[in-house]
Structure 1
Amino acid sequence: MELQWALLVLGFFLLSTESHGCGVGYIKKNTNCTDEDECETPSLCGENSQCVNTHGSYYCTCNEGFLSIPPNFTASTAGECVDINECFDKTPACPSDLVCVNTIGSYNCTNCPKGFIRDPKLNSSCKDVDECVSSVCEVHSRCTNTPGSFSCICSPGFDKHENTCTDIDECKDPDVCGTNADCKNLPGSFICECHTGYSNYSNNQSKCTDIDECKDPDVCGTNADCKNHIGSFICECHKGYSNYGNNQSKCTEMNCDEFKIESDMQGKLKDILTLLRDSCESLRDTGVGRQTGEQLLEILITSTDYLLSDGNIADSETLSQFLDAVENSMHLIGPQLKAPVTRMETHNTFAEVAVRRGQAPPSGCVTLSTDSALFNTSWETVVGKSYPGFGFVALVSYKDMESSSDQFHTISRERSDDRERNITYQLNSKVVTAVVSNPETKQLSEPVTLIFTHEQERAESEGVGYSCVYWNEAEGAWSGRGCEEAWSNSTHTACSCSHLSSFAVLMALYPIQESFELVLITRVGLVLSLLCLFLCILTFRFCRSIQGTRNSIHLHLSVCLFIADLVFLCGISSTHDQVGCAIVAGLLHFFFLSAFCWMLLEGVQLYRMVVLVFHTTLKHLYMYAAGYGVPLAIVIISAISYPRGYGTDRHCWLSLEFMWSFFAPVCIIVVLNSLFFIITVWKLAEKFSSLNPDLSKLRNIRGFTVTAVAQLCVLGGMWVFGCFLFQEEGTQVVLYLFTILNSLQGALIFIMHCLLSKQVREEYCKLISRICSDKEKKYSDFSTNQSSNSQRPLRSDQSTAESKI
C-alpha cells in the first residue's frame, strides 16, 4: 500500500516537472523552482479538516473529534473527516454517574440517569433519588430504596399476590390459638380471645391456659368453698346459704320465713306460699330447687291470675298479704331465671324480669315495660352496694284490681289541703310491683322512674288531679310519701320514687262547686246575721239604759262580726284577683281575731266585776289596744312572714299551712276566757252562799256570765267544728254544722244580748209604743184638719218623732 502511494507521488512529480520545468509541487519563480503552498487554495481539504503544506506537496488532517478517512488525505484522494462518537469508546468519556451525549466533533455529560438527580453542589455528579419519601408503594407494604430505583416489600402478615399485598389469614391454622381460645383475624395480624376461665396474660397471640380462680379468696366469699376446674370453678355454699343455682356466684343466706302462711289467707295464696317455701328450703339445703325459675314464675303468674279474677283481695289485709307474697316470690324466682329477659303474660297479670350475671357488676340503664307501665332505673341501683355475682329487676302488673274507699285514708291524711276540699280518690292505673335484687330499697341512692298509662283519659285540671302512691303495708292503704309526680297529661303520669314497693296512680276528683244546700244556707244565714248585727249595733249604741263598759264591748264585738260577715259574703270567692283576694283574707283574719279579743275583754270585765272591785270598768284606751291592736299586730306579722298564706285557689281565706296564725291566737283566747269564766262562776257561787248577798246585782252578773259563756261556746265551738273539717270522719256533718253556726252567729248574738235582756226588751216596747202613738196622733190630726193647710203640722210631728228616737 505504501509503495503504491510512493509511485503515485513520483509520477505526479515527474508530470509537474515536465509542465513547468520544475518538479511537482514547485513553481518556477524567476529562474528558480520554489515550493508551491497548496493550502492557500480555500476549502481544499473540506469541512472539519486542516490543510498542512509540505515541500512539494500537502495533506489534509481532521480536527479534534473527527477521524480522517483515509489518514492524511489530499483533494485528489477524496478523503473525509468523520465525527468520532466518544460515548462508544471503551474508555468512558463521562464519569459513571453521568450520561454521555455525543455532539458533532465533541460530547456532553449533562443528563443524570433515571433514579438520579444532579447534585447542585457538584456540577459534574448526580445523587440518588429516594423514591420512598413519597407514597410509591401500596397499603400494607414497605418501600426499600436502591441506587437509582426502589422496591416494595409486603408488611408482616401480608403476602404479594398479583402486585398487591393481601392479608394472610393466620386463623386458617387451627393450632394457632389452640382449643381454649377463639382466633380472630385482623388486617396483618390476629389475636387469641380466651374462653372464660382461661387467659394468655395479655399476650394476645399466645395460647390460653387455665385460670385458678380459687386463688382469689373473695371469688366465692366466706359462705362457700371454692373448687377450681379446668376453665371454670364452682362455689359450694355452706348449709343455710344458696346462690340460687348460679354456681359461680357468692352465696347469700336463705330466709324462708318470708313465705309465712297466715291462718286467714285465701286458699290459693296459701298454696303459692307453701310451694315457694318448699322450693326455698330445697335451695337452702341442697342448692337445687324443686322447680326451675321459669316453672316457678309460671306457677306464680297463673295463681295470681286466679286470685285476681276470683275477686277475693279487695280488703286491705288480703291485699297486703298478696302484694307481699308477690314481692318475696320475685326475690326467690328472679335469680333462678336463665334468660337475660323473661316475659310472661296471662289474662290478669303481666311480668317482665331482667337478669345479669358476671364477675363484674353490671352498669348502665335498664328499662322494663308491661302493657300498662314502664319502669326505668340503673343497674347500679338494682345491685346496690353488695354484688353477689348476679342481679335482677322485675316488674309485675296486675289487671282488674279494685280498691275500696277505706284504702285511700293515708293519702287523704297526707294531703290535708285536699281534705279541706272534700276530694275523693280512685285508681286510674294498673297496680305494679317493682322488685330488685338490692336488699336496701327503703331509701335508694337515686330515684327510679315509673310511667303509668291512665285507665281513664282525663287531663289534669281544676277538677282532676293525679297522685303517685305506693301500697303502705303497715297502714293498709295508699300513701304518697317518697313518690312525686314528675309530669302528667291526659294519658300518662310519670312518677319519681325514692323507694320500691307496689305502685299506682290515684285520680283525685275535686268538687268544682259547693253544694246548693250549703250555698243557700250560707247566703241566707249571712243576710239574716247582718240584719241582726245591725240591730245589735243600733241597740248598743242608742239604748241608754244599758250603757256601760260591757255594752261597749258588745258594740265593738258586733261591729267586728258585722264587717267580717259583710266581707265574707261579698269577697270570699273573689279568687280571680290575687291581690284583692289576699286583702279579703287579711280583713277576715283581722276582724275574726278582733271578735275573739273583744270576747276575751268581756271575760276580763266579768272577772273584775266579781273578783276584784264591784262596778269596776276598763279604760277605753286599753280596750281598743287589746281589741284592735293585738289582732292588727298578729295580721301584720303574719303578712310579713308569709304573704302567700293569704288567699287560696278556691277561697279568699288563709291557706292550710298558714292556718296556725288564726287558730293559735283563738285557742289561747278560748283557754284564757274559760279560766276567767271558771273563776267568775266560782266566786259568784261563794257570794251567793254568803250571809248578806246583794241578790239583785249578783243575779245580773250571773246573767251576764251565762250569756258570755254561751257566746263563747257558740263562736268558739264554730271554729272547733272548723278544725274538724280537716279530719276524714264525719266531714259532711261537721261541714253543715260549721256553715250553720257561721251563718247565724249574728242572730244568736241578737237573741242572747238583746231579746233575752229585760232592759233591752223594755226599751224596745217603749220604742214600739211611741211609734204606734205617733201614728195614731198623725191620723187624728189629719182627719180633724182636713180642710186646712196640712204641711205645717206635719213638719212639727216629724221633728218631734226624731227627737224622741
Structure 2
Amino acid sequence: MNGARCTDIVDGHVCTCLPGFTDASCATDINECAPIPCQNNATCTDLVNGYNCTCVLGFTGKNCAQITYVCGTRVCSRFAKCFLTEGNYSCHCKSGYVGDGYTCQPFCRKTQIFVQALNQSVTFNKTNVGETANSQEICSNGRPMASVDCVYGAPAGFAAIKSPSCERTILSTISQIEDTITAKEISSTIAFFKLATKIVTVQDHVFEVIDGLEIILQVVSRQQRQITTNVMYDAMLVAEQLTNALTSSSNINTIDTTKNKRQKQHLLEVLQNFANYVEIPQDITNFTLTTEQITLQIFKPTTARSGRQLQNKKYSDIRFAPAPKSQHAAEQPVQLVVPGEVIDQAATQLRKETQIAFFQFNNDDLFSSLDRVEVVVSAQIKGYDPATLGKSISLEFSHETKIQREVPVGNGVLKNVVTRTQCSVWDDHQQVWVPNGCELVKNSFPPQCKCYKLANFAMLVDTKILPSAFLMGITTYVGLCLSIIGLSMTIFVFLSVPKLRNRQPTIFLLNICICLMAVCIIFLISGNQIGNRIPCYMLTALLHYFLLATWFWMTANAYTMYKALVKVFQISSKLSGRNAAIIYLVPLAIVLLNMGVTVFNTDIKTYRPDNILFESVYKSRHMCWLRLYSLYFGFLLPVGVMFLINMYFFVAVLAKITCCKKKIQSTAKVRGLGRNFQIAISMICLMGLTWIFGFLMLVAEDERHQTVMAWLFTVFNSTQGLSIFIFNCVLNKGVRDAGRDWVSTKTRKTQVSTTGTTTNTRTTNHYTSSKI
C-alpha cells in the first residue's frame, strides 16, 4: 500500500515502504509529530515523511525556535514598551494606558474637578476610554451628583461634566419632552436617564424611563430627525442599566411577571428602533458602539459596481462579526452575513439608500424565555421587513462548540446525555424562541443557520439527561448474558439429541439461535465502542445484519409450516444449501444498500474529525445502532413486512389445524407441527412485541411514556435468548421426552459398557488362575 514495493518470497511477501510509512503492509503513516518537535507553543501538522510547524507570533524556523520579532518591529502596541529577555520579549503598556502590552487601552486617571453648578469639587475614579464615570459624591436620593465621559486624547481625558440638579426627577424630565425639543435637549435628557438609572430601583420608575425613551423616539420618528452616535451610546447604556434592574433578584420578587416581560419587550423594541435613526458620518461606511452587554454596528451598504443608477446597483454582502467578549478569546462568538441580494431588494422597495443595523446581546436578559441562550444577534433595515427574504441570511455560532464540549457523551457517565441544537428567531408577540424561518445547516461546524427573515436570532442548545440509564444498562447486560446462556443450551440440546437433530424445524431453530447469539455478543461489545467511529459503524452494520437474518429465518420457518399443513406439500427433512444461502444473502443486500445510501453517499462526504456536532444519518450518537430513515427503511420496514407475512402464515396454519384436521396426512403430524407452530408463533410474537415497544419508544414525545417503552423494550429485547430456551426446551414436552430418552440411552450404554468391562476382567483373572 501507499506506493510500497512488494517482493515475493517463499510462502509470503515483503513490503518495502516509502519514507513516512510503516507496518507489514505499509498502511500506517508514521506520525512525525510524536514526540512534539515544534517549540514555543507552535502547532505541529503531520505530513507524509515529515511535519510542519505553524509558529505563533514572534517565532520562525522549522521548529519555531528562532525569535523573529524584536523591539524594533511593531509587535507590541504603539502605546507599549518592548523589553528583551533571554530568548523572548515582553510588552508593557505605557503610563496612561492599560492592557496586555499587545493591546493598550487609554484611560482617564482618577481626578477631582470643581463643578461650578454644584459649587463644590467632585471626584471621578479611573475610567477607560469610551466609558462614563460617575462622581463619588451622591445626592440624597442615591443618584450621583455628576457624570462625565472619558474620551480619547493625548493623553485621554474627561469631557464636559454633566451635573443635573439633585432635585430633578425622571417624571419631571419626561413631562418636558415636546415636539419642539432640540437635538441638544434630547442628548441632555438621555444623559440624565443614564445618570438616573445608575441606581434605579422599582420605586424609581423603571417603566417611566422606558416610556420616556419611547416618547423621544416618537418625536424623532415623526420629524424624521437623526440622532448622534453619542446619543445612541447613552441610550444603549440606559437600556443595559434598565435590563439589570428588571432582571435583578430583588426586583423579580416585586414586579408582576407578565408586566416585567412586557416591559422588557417594550425596551427591546425602543432600543432597536433608535438604531434606525443614527446618523452615519459622510466619510465612513460603518461604525461600532459597544457596552458591557450590547454591541451595535451600523453599515452603510457599498455597491459592488459603481457608475450605475440606483435601481441597477448590486450591493456587496455585509458581514457582522463583533469582537469576542474577552480580548483573550480566539474567535468571534457569532458571525452574521446579509447577502447583497437582500440589500438590493430593500433598496428597490424603499427607492432610496438605506443602512443596516446589527445588534449583539451578550446575554438573553431582554428575552424573557425559559430557553436560555448565550448570545443573541439581530439584523434590521429601516422600513424593510418582508415576511420572507428572497435569499437567506447565514449565521455561524462559534461559541456553541464550547457548550457541546462540556456535555458528557459516551461511556463513563451514569446517565445518557442527549443534546439538540436549534436555530431560532424571537417571536415578539408570544415572547418565545421559535424555529420558524430558520434552519440548521446539516452537519455544519461550527453550527450554521440559514434564516429567511430579519429578526433577533439565537442558537438554542437543549441538553436532556435520559433517566435511569445506568439501571437500564445493568438490566440489558444481565439479560444479554442470560440470553447467551439460554441460546447456548438450546443449541447444545438440539445438536446432541439425535431425535431432535434430525427434525425439519431444527435447522431453522439453530440458525435463529446462532443469529441471536451473534446479536447479543455484538451488543455487549458495542457498549465500549461508542466513541470509536469506524468500529461503531462496523458493529452497527453487523447488528443490523444478524437481526434481519433472524427475522428471515423465522419467516422461512413459518413458510415451511405453511407449505406442509396448508398446501400439503411433502417437505424434505433437510434445507437445501441454496435456500440457506438466499436467507443469509437477502439481509446482507439490505444492509449494504442501506450503508450505500447513508454512509457512503452522505456521512463520508460531510464528516470532519473536528466536528463534535457531526450527526450521522446512519447511526446514533449515543449507541452503535441505526437512526432516522436508516432505521425506518433499513430495519423497521422489512421487519414490519416480515411480521405481517408471518402472521398471515400462522393464521392460515391455525385455521388448517383447527378446522381441517381430517384432511391432514396423520394425527402424529398434526401434533408435531402443532407444537412447532405454537413455539414459532410464540417466538414471532415475542420479537414482534419487542420491536413494537421499540417503535413506540422512538415516537413517544412524553418523557414518562418514553421511559416506560424503553424499559419494556430493554427487558424483552435482552431476554429473547432465555425465552427461546424456555419455549423450545423447558416447556416443549417432545423435547423433554427426547432428551430424557437420550439420557437414558446414554446411561444404559454406560452401564453395559461398565458391565462388559467387569465380565472381561473376571474371565481374564479366572483364566490366569487356571494356568497357574
TM-score for the superposition, normalised by structure 2: 0.49
Which protein is richer in strand relative to its size? 1
More RCO (CA 8 Å, sep 6+):
2
TM-score, structure 1 normalization: 0.48
Based on CA coordinates, which of the two structures has the bigger radius of gyration? 1
